[in-house]
Amino acid sequence: MKIALAQLNYHIGNFEKNTQLIVDNIALAKAEGADIVVFAELAICGYPPRDFLEFDDFISLCEAAAQQIAKHCVGIACILGLPIKNEVLQGKDLYNAAYFMADGAVQKVTKKALLPTYDVFDEYRYFEPNYEFECIDFKGKKIALTICEDLWNINDNPLYVSCPMDELIKQSPDLMINIAASPFNYRHDEDRIRVLSDNAKKYKLPLFYVNQVGAQTEIIFDGGSLMFNEAGELKAEMKYFAEDLQVFDVDEIQNVKTKYPLPERASDISQIHDALILGIQDYFKKSGFTKAVLGLSGGIDSAVVCALACKALGAENVMAVLMPSKYSSDHSVKDALDLVNNFGCKHEIIEIKHAADAFDGMLAEAFSGLPFNLTEENIQARCRGIVVMAVSNKFGYILLNTSNKSECAVGYGTLYGDMCGAIGVIGDVYKTQVFELARYINKDSELIPENTIVKPPSAELRPDQKDSDSLPDYAILDEILFQHIEMKKGSKAIIAQGFDEALVKRVLKMVNIAEFKRYQTPPILRVSPKAFGMGRRMPIVGKYMD
């Protein structure tokens, strides 16, 4: 029996596009001699559909699309994920399910048992867990079909009290198939391989795993579909950050040679780079936009975002707006212009001095006798926000936010100024990682000016300003932030690692009091195990971290 894994980029709620994509790949798999083609979790509607699932019409459209697809399953079978109604009154109204389709009709239904409700996942909000398990018989093989999380309850600290494969193995299956919507983070590929390998070894069965690819607003799916033999050895690894289809012969697993061998794991920074480009591309494509605008300061954050946008959208579709103030250095303008020239994107130079002076004049009487402080700095940042939003409105560009994760964490940014935008490109990338990204982008040639990388970071909102005037050294700050945000450690645990007590308490307090700002930031492309946004939910008025 030959199994095709179809790793595709779906669009949430775009039933016409998703259906055609699935039908086209059924035909492609059939032409390549596959007996069965496997698609991802909730492929018909896209993942995660969130509160679209609360609309009866949405579920009806899923079912109608599935029935249309089933008609193409003649001479080939298909496994396809979709939400279906729970016909029992008690419990949630829906199941996260998979149809097994053959001979032009739905032959069997498999329902997901383990529903993740952590980080970016919220499945128990919508779905009823499954408690009944049955293998699929097809062409003399018995298939144990599971859906994503159903294979993840296999570690030293299980989240669930049951394990679907412990039930399915009692029916003596010949192989396992798992359909997934497994989001990317730069540490997840190795975890995924380990967990799936452990399943193959535990149950002594070959395992075919298909993931989806593409970005759905802030959540990015990296693909990387996999195949293991019964010893848990990884025998095939499909493309990352791209659509792919491969066909495998179940009876020749030991001899499989993947089309896209990856002899070693890609570096964290290269994965982050590729993920961000895919995230930008899909945000624009799926929103119906083509052109981006951003403020380009000459600093490293906006330089990296501009570089990524040019690579993702084409330089001709990127507008960089240089907005020097009376405090901007000549080298910052030169660095920004060098970047523009290196990539060939469009640019405008719009000075904000007159606007900032106008606000100073308007507020002179109200602020009489009070010294220059953060207020006047923020006015300059907000003048810039007005300019880039005006360009966005006038020309229909989407504004890219350029704040990094370190800044987002400690509130080092101005609401309605440099924190505005439609999508946060590097808001899940620490400042130290931004420098690594810049070096990675420059690995073949100097695209980001060297001076942008080596000069001390500065907002340039007052004379001789440096980030270090307000923040600890980024190398230390990012270590503390990582321990607190990704590793979920409080002050005592971080201090016990050898960090200065006063510094740790100061940093954690900054993180806590900046929560109100993060609630008002754009969605942030998720590349880490714990990103700001839907995966990290903190109360604004909480006292704990004070």
Q: In what order do the strands lie in the sheet with 226-228?
A: 136-138, 141-147, 175-179, 207-210, 226-228, 234-237
Q: How large is the average pLDDT for residues 287-297? A: 97
Q: How many CB atoms lie within 10 A of CB 263?
A: 4
275 with 235, same domain? no
Q: What are 96's strand-pairing partners?
A: 83
Last residue of a domain, one of 440, 467, 494: 467
Residue 33: which domain range? 2-254
Residue 228 pLDDT greater than 90, yes or no: yes
Q: Confirm whether 480 is domain-assigned.
A: no
Q: Identify the DSSP state of 279.
A: H
Q: How many CB atoms lie within 10 A of CB 287?
A: 12
100 with 41, same domain? yes
Catalytic residue among 41, 123, 128, 436: 41
pLDDT (0 to 100) of residue 253:
81
160 with 199, same domain? yes
pLDDT tens digits along 94-132: 999 999 999 999 999 999 999 999 999 999 999 999 999
Catalytic residue among 2, 30, 111, 112: 112
218 with 278, same domain? no
pLDDT (0 to 100) of residue 161:
86
pLDDT (0 to 100) of residue 337:
97
Residues 371-386 as b/e (b if ≥16 CB within 10 A, e otherwise) read eeeeebbbbbbbbbbe
Contacts of 292 (CB under 8 A, 6+ apart): 280, 284, 309, 313, 317, 318, 319, 397, 398, 399, 400
286 with 213, same domain? no
pLDDT (0 to 100) of residue 37:
98
Where do we find the tokens 């980001």? 448
- Pairing assessment for the beta strands 141-147 and 94-102 based on DSSP bridges: unpaired
pLDDT tens digits along 59-94: 999 999 999 999 999 999 999 999 999 999 999 999
- Spatial separation of the C-alpha atoms in residues 419 and 381, rounded to whole Å: 9
pLDDT (0 to 100) of residue 264:
73
- Spatial separation of the C-alpha atoms in residues 58 and 528, rounded to whole Å: 31
Average pLDDT, the chain: 94
Q: Confirm whether 513 is domain-assigned.
A: no
103 with 235, same domain? yes
Q: With bands split at pLDDT 50, 70 and 90, how would you rate the model's confidence at 259?
A: low
Q: Identify the DSSP state of 524.
A: B
205 with 303, same domain? no
Residue 251 pLDDT greater than 90, yes or no: no
Contact 246, 5 (CB under 8 A): yes
Q: What are 220's strand-pairing partners?
A: 215
Q: Confirm whether 524 is domain-assigned.
A: no
Q: Confirm whether 118 is domain-assigned.
A: yes
292 with 184, same domain? no
Q: Hey, what are 29's tokens? A: 């798999």
**Distances, alpha carbon 61 to alpha carbons 64, 214, 454, in Å:** 5, 22, 54
What is the total count of domains within the chain?
2
For 3, counting Cβ atoms within 10 Å of its Cβ (0-12 exposed, 13-18 middle, 19+ buried), the class is buried
pLDDT (0 to 100) of residue 263:
55
Q: Identify the DSSP state of 337.
A: H
- Ramachandran quadrant class, 104 (left: phi over 0; alpha: psi -120 to 50; beta: rest): left
Q: Of all helices (H) and strands (E), which one includes residue 521?
A: none
Q: What are 106's strand-pairing partners?
A: 101
Q: Confirm whether 14 is domain-assigned.
A: yes
Q: Hey, what are 355's tokens? A: 């606007």
Residue 460 pLDDT greater than 60, yes or no: yes
Could you give the percent of the chain with pLDDT greater than 70? 96
Q: Confirm whether 259 is domain-assigned.
A: no
Last residue of a domain, one of 416, 445, 467: 467
Residue 329 pLDDT greater than 80, yes or no: no
Residue 262 pLDDT greater than 80, yes or no: no
**Distances, alpha carbon 534 to alpha carbons 75, 97, 177, 276, in Å:** 43, 24, 29, 18
Where do we find the tokens 């009290």? 161
CA 200 to centroid of chain Cα atoms: 27
Alpha helices by DSSP H, 89-208? 164-168, 188-203
Q: Confirm whether 367 is domain-assigned.
A: yes
Q: With bands split at pLDDT 50, 70 and 90, how would you rate the model's confidence at 470?
A: confident
pLDDT (0 to 100) of residue 179:
98
Q: With bands split at pLDDT 50, 70 and 90, how would you rate the model's confidence at 387?
A: very high
Q: Hey, what are 529's tokens? A: 């195990």
- Could you give the count of Cα atoms lying within 13 Å of 212 in the half-sphere of its Cβ? 31
pLDDT tens digits along 397-454: 999 999 999 999 999 999 999 999 999 999 999 999 999 999 999 999 999 999 999 9
- Spatial separation of the C-alpha atoms in residues 134 and 464, rounded to whole Å: 69
Catalytic: 420? no
CA 461 to centroid of chain Cα atoms: 32
Distance in Å from the first CA to the final CA of the chain: 60
Contacts of 393 (CB under 8 A, 6+ apart): none
18 with 108, same domain? yes
Contact 250, 138 (CB under 8 A): no
pLDDT (0 to 100) of residue 326:
82
Residue 238 pLDDT greater than 90, yes or no: yes
CATH number for the domain harbouring residue 385: 3.40.50.620
Q: Confirm whether 406 is domain-assigned.
A: yes
Contacts of 11 (CB under 8 A, 6+ apart): 17, 18, 46, 214, 286
pLDDT tens digits along 38-58: 999 999 999 999 999 999 999
CATH number for the domain harbouring residue 171: 3.60.110.10
154 with 275, same domain? no
215 with 239, same domain? yes
- Spatial separation of the C-alpha atoms in residues 322 and 328, rounded to whole Å: 11
pLDDT (0 to 100) of residue 4:
98
Q: How large is the average pLDDT for residues 477-483? A: 97
Q: Of all helices (H) and strands (E), which one includes residue 300?
A: helix 300-313
187 with 69, same domain? yes
Last residue of a domain, one of 432, 467, 502: 467
pLDDT (0 to 100) of residue 546:
55
Catalytic: 148? yes
Catalytic residue among 45, 62, 135, 148: 148
Backbone angles phi, psi at 476, to 5 degrees: -80, -45
CA 159 to centroid of chain Cα atoms: 23
Q: Which of 493, 515, 485 is nearest to 119 (CA)?
A: 485
